[in-house]
Structure 1
């Protein structure tokens, strides 16, 4: 079973959704037969490479949201994150465009380290106040997941993996995703948002059951009417 997950490194619910999905997957009887693929998405492509203010200031000034409303939203998300064992620190978040980090994740994919890199970047952004737009930081993360830091800097100095990131974003839109996280199971089931683990568990069970069903082309289908079969009482 193949599960594709569209998410943005700068999306607080994406980290929460990752944890909730992983909780459900850990309890899934067929987890060893599940392939998880991370796909890129940007909530705010217009975000500057770096913004000197805080996350609160950015949403207040650039998005026109009242500061009190932003703080209430952050408090709610922080509490939800804590329930999943995550320690969000919105006051320390470095506001930066995530496109370069997504290119790095595609590099990590070629090394089979995309999931580890994704985890490190989400934690760095929301828990540790690291700059996901800084190539030196991305090179640092690269070392921790077994990728050469100099190779990472070289790749990120070019436009490598730009097409892959843009393709992911375009494909999400084609599938009808207008927000993230967005989970797609076997290209048959779409799940939007950081659902509770129980919801993910139900989706996994349903998708697995459907994947095991066999569609028999016989009987009523004109093209298959002449097939002869044998059963317990003889052959037809």
Structure 2
């Protein structure tokens, strides 16, 4: 629990499990939360965004996908991947992209994340809640373990690994539960002009796009949150 009289700061993060900069952005932001420990009570909630809503069930070879989508060469794709892997490694996260690494459809993962978000108790510390745990486990399953996070068995495994009810996860995946909520949220954030991820919304009003360095967040929080509350 947060210390008494510590101001609460809501952090809404719009992201996709398929997005490498989303996990990098989160790892950078965790250092921001550490910086303000004891001064702010961060409450984190994740929101859905699909980079590739039309991705077929079989997915697509990741290298070919990036080359086609962004119009770059194989050499440029490898260089970009190497850069991201290096940044992630410095932050303690492993990108383990083998030759069979594929982009996947993330809609069902978002359905489970929406369910997990609904389970968060009001007084629970959002930064260590079950939704964040599930999000990080999905990032690791996709980027580190090269698991198919569109597969229902894999998704149920990951949900159970963070303490969620596996039977309920399976029921959600087979029933289509939370699908309409995901679509509604996606439409809402699109209306807010969120066109790329990650996107961090502080206190429901301050948008910080991209995987910014911690100093950017610290400056905004110091000047626009803590100074205003003083």
Aligned: 1:114 with 2:142:
no
Counterparts in 2 of 1:47-196, with a 5 A limit? 47-51=55-59, 54-61=61-68, 64-91=71-98, 93-112=101-120, 113-196=130-213
Post-superposition CA distance 1:140-193 (Å, at most 9, x none) = 111112222121111111221112211221122222211000001112210000
Quote how far apart the aligned CAs of 1:95 are. Answer: 2.3
Larger Rg computed on CA atoms: 1
Quote how far apart the aligned CAs of 1:31 are. Answer: 5.5
Aligned: 1:207 with 2:224:
yes
TM-score normalised by L of structure 1: 0.83
Aligned: 1:16 with 2:16:
no
The equivalent residue for 2:123 is: none
3-state SS in 2 of match to 1:39: strand
Contact 1:38/1:115, CA 8 A, preserved across alignment: yes
Contact 2:114/2:178, CA 8 A, preserved across alignment: yes
The equivalent residue for 2:124 is: none
Unmatched 5+ stretches in structure 2: 1-8, 121-129
3-state SS in 1 of match to 2:105: coil
CA distance in 2, matches of 1:210, 1:41: 32
Counterparts in 2 of 1:15-54, with a 5 A limit? 15-30=23-38, 32-51=40-59, 54=61
CA distance in 1, matches of 2:140, 2:42: 24
Contact 2:45/2:117, CA 8 A, preserved across alignment: no
How many residue pairs are counted as aligned between the two chains? 212
RMSD: 1.8
TM-score normalised by L of structure 2: 0.85
3-state SS in 2 of match to 1:178: coil
Contact 2:199/2:209, CA 8 A, preserved across alignment: yes
Unmatched 5+ stretches in structure 1: 214-236
CA distance in 2, matches of 1:163, 1:119: 23
Contact 1:60/1:67, CA 8 A, preserved across alignment: yes
